[in-house]
């Protein structure tokens, strides 16, 4: 698998070195608890690839 296909942890988390805290950038699915993806086109929406839960985003 190519490196472009995988999401590295540095892209998924925001790290605050002063406080020593890592925070997830994306939302968590309310149904299954996995990380959701933000799709901007054709309409902005949050989508869970595991359980197919979708929310319309208000950007």
Q: How far apart are the C-alpha atoms of 48 and 29, rounded to whole Å?
A: 6
Convert the pLDDT of each residue in 10-59 to its tens digit. Answer: 778 888 889 999 898 899 999 999 999 999 999 999 999 999 999 998 76
| DSSP letter (8 states) at residue 15 | E
pLDDT for position 58? 79
Instruction: Report the 10 Å Cβ neighbour count for 57.
Output: 14
Give buried/exposed letters for 24-39 (b at 16+ CB in 10 A, else e).
eeeeebeeeeeebeee
């Amino acid at each position: 698998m190519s490196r472009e296909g995988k999401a590295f942890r540095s892209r998924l988390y925001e790290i605050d070195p002063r406080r020593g805290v890592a925070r997830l950038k994306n939302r968590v699915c309310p149904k299954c608890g996995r990380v959701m993806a933000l799709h901007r086109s054709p309409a902005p929406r949050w989508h869970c690839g595991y359980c197919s839960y979708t929310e319309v985003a208000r950007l």
